[in-house]
Amino acid sequence: CSDAGELVMFVTFQGTTIVGRGKEKVAREVLEAYMIKKECPDKCISQPSLFLHKKEVDFIDTFGGRVIDD
């Protein structure tokens, strides 16, 4: 805490897992939406930047859940 009585928080990334990378913003947003839909369908952790339809999720599943960004 500082002298002014303000709370100072520090964020640590221990235990953080990188689930994917993307050069392009849209690839990162698709990965974000896919992971939220697959890993946390009943938990409200965040709203994805975009919406994936079931057919789009199924299509990504055919690649083993990998979003390709070359």
Q: What pLDDT, on a 0 to 100 scale, did the predictor assign at position 54?
A: 92
> d(Cα 8, Cα 11) in Å, to the nearest integer?
10
Q: What pLDDT, on a 0 to 100 scale, did the predictor assign at position 1?
A: 46
Residue 32, C-beta contacts closer than 8 angstroms, at least 6 positions apart: 48, 49
Q: What pLDDT, on a 0 to 100 scale, did the predictor assign at position 40?
A: 77
DSSP, collapsed to helix, strand or coil, labels residue 66 as coil
Task: Please report, in tens digits, the pLDDT of each residue of the chain (70 residues total).
Answer: 455 667 787 888 888 888 888 889 998 899 889 988 888 777 766 778 889 999 999 999 998 877 666 6
